[in-house]
Amino acid sequence: MYAGIVRVFVINPGSTSTKLALAEVREGRVEVLERVEKPSRPGETPLEDFESRLPLVLAQARAWAPFSAIAARGGLIGPVTAGVYLVDEVLARTSLKSPYGYHPANLGAPLALEAARAHSVPAYVVDPPTVSEMLPEARVSGVPGLERQSRVHALNLRYVARKVAKELGKPLESSVLIGAHLGGGSSVALFLHGRMADATDALLGEGPFSANRAGTVPLHGVLSLIQARGIEAARHLLAYRSGFLGLLGTDNLKTVEENLADPETRRVVEAYALQIAKNLAAFAVHARPDAFFLTGSAARFRYVVTRVRERIEWMAPLVVMPGEFEAEALASGAARVLTGLEEVRRYASGV
């Protein structure tokens, strides 16, 4: 167990870069001391991607050493409970083999394990995107054998939920909070006394549309799209050429905000705000929320925030914490384990 300051080396692999940070945590407060973003060219396989990024991670770790632990963004590792997971051979191997699907975040665990071995410190992943704590009745979709899935921005959402609960003077475990992460993708989650009891599926599942993703769409339209274009072309359209990009020709929300005088732009932005508000309000049927919250880069879109606030604040206050706090969330999770505030979890692969 550690006392005083905990220093954490943070690894966050993305599609075109690897974000690295050095953070200090003192009495629960996180300060990011250093940040670097290294351009990364994805390999043709997860193993090639891992091998191309490992040297830059190890070099930066040497430059910033010493530190108490390593915390990495978790990947698609199958349904798990929220929390901090020790990175071991099983977790690293499963992440790299990617039986649940591949995302560059899958590289976080194996990169962290190699760096941890080099520096003789523990490595962790925190609240991976496949955190699945939905209530049994929330999983039912109405189609036999097709359950609703929880694939959300769990890391950022849970970290912000803790911050919002603290602002309200309550622990997360006794709060009811409903939050939306608004970024390149959008996801909405209900935190019911600490449990992520309901959530949207941000990976071509449901929820508000975003910069270039479709969000919830009419099923008959999806079937027609597949019939006309084929499955792969339809998937590409829904995942990469929809949302603001498909509707307005740009996925730059600053450009969208500057063009609000245009009637079609205003109509699409109003639709975006409406979909966010509808998704937040839908989860309020579980329990009366103490607060709603918005986070992610698109939470800086002031007009959208205003319109969402106007629609939902009759139910509960809206707290806005724009930006992404992934480095802070990862460092905070590692520090909670090292200081004895949270028990570390062990990953058990289902494959």
pLDDT in tens, 9-37: 999 998 788 999 999 999 889 999 999 99
Which pLDDT does position 242 carry in this prediction? 95
Which pLDDT does position 43 carry in this prediction? 72
Same domain, 159 and 304: yes
Residue 349 clears pLDDT 80, i.e. is over it = no
Q: What domain range is 152 assigned to? A: 137-316
Which pLDDT does position 350 carry in this prediction? 55
- 117-161 pLDDT, tens per residue? 999 999 999 999 889 999 999 999 999 999 998 888 999 999 999
Same domain, 12 and 36: yes
Label residue 351 by pLDDT band (50, 70, 90): low
Which pLDDT does position 271 carry in this prediction? 98
What CATH number did the domain enclosing 194 receive?
3.30.420.40
Rounded to an integer, what distance in angstroms lies between the CA atom of residue 29 and that of residue 153? 22
Domain count, the chain: 2
Angle between helices 89-97 and 108-119 (to 10 degrees): 140
Residue 3 clears pLDDT 70, i.e. is over it = no
Same domain, 117 and 153: no
Same domain, 90 and 144: no
Mean pLDDT, range 227-246, rounded to an integer: 95
Same domain, 18 and 105: yes
Same domain, 263 and 143: yes
Same domain, 234 and 273: yes
Residue 76, domain member (yes or no): yes
Which pLDDT does position 15 carry in this prediction? 78
Same domain, 116 and 162: no
Q: What pTM value is reported for the model? A: 0.91
Same domain, 167 and 198: yes
Same domain, 47 and 195: no
| Distance between first and last Cα of the chain | 33
Same domain, 113 and 171: no
Residue 105, domain member (yes or no): yes
Residue 348, domain member (yes or no): no
Residue 350, domain member (yes or no): no
Buried b (16+ CB within 10 A) or exposed e, 115-140: bbeebebbbbbbbbbbbbbbeeebee
Residue 351, domain member (yes or no): no
Interstrand relation of 186-192 and 195-199 (parallel, antiparallel or unpaired): antiparallel
Residue 345, domain member (yes or no): no
Which pLDDT does position 103 carry in this prediction? 87
